[in-house]
Amino acid sequence: MILPILIYGHPLLRKRCLEIEKFSNSNKINSLIKNMYDTMGKAQGIGLAAPQIGISLRLFIIEYNNFYKKKFKQVFINPKILKIYGSYLITKEGCLSIPNILENIIRKNHLILEYYDENWKKYKQHFNGLLSIIIQHEYDHIEGKFFLDHISDTKKLFLHNQLKKISAKINPNPINPNTNNNLHF
């Protein structure tokens, strides 16, 4: 099922998300994950975090083909960044919740992440390069942050009017995790 993506300015996007209990209803989690992949695919994204669809849980997904046409597809439940290190990379980032804005963002190119997959298998894994950048971007979402939080105040001022127009289009009917919509955990 394609779900609405919350737009910049929605208050839920600025909240730190809650951890998912390990023994939560796996059918609901799997349904949520499937819906997230459907939504991300329709929006032509490479990553999507649960708060972007109105669910305040520590969950994000990534699916993309790298330069060598190798597909990477992964679910990240309750991720924790243990270490960010290495040299800095400047990449042009965009966001499904902030349409039509791309900005150069500086991030370190290595990280060590601890997380669970959709089968509750625990991983402690090193990621580097573009994959590290994508993970940091999605991780920001579950922390209540945006990639724009990494730009200068001058650039934010320059983008102010565009962001104001985007936030004026906030979806008035997001999924509410406190209602009976079969996505409640």
Q: Give the chain's radius of gyration (CA, Å).
A: 16
Burial (Cβ within 10 Å: 0-12, 13-18, ≥19) of residue 108:
middle
Among all residues, which ones are annotated catalytic?
A: 138
Query: Of 115, 119, 160, 153, whose CA–CA distance to 30 is shortest?
Result: 119
The beta strands (E) that lie in the chain are given as 47-49, 59-65, 71-95, 98-116, 122-128
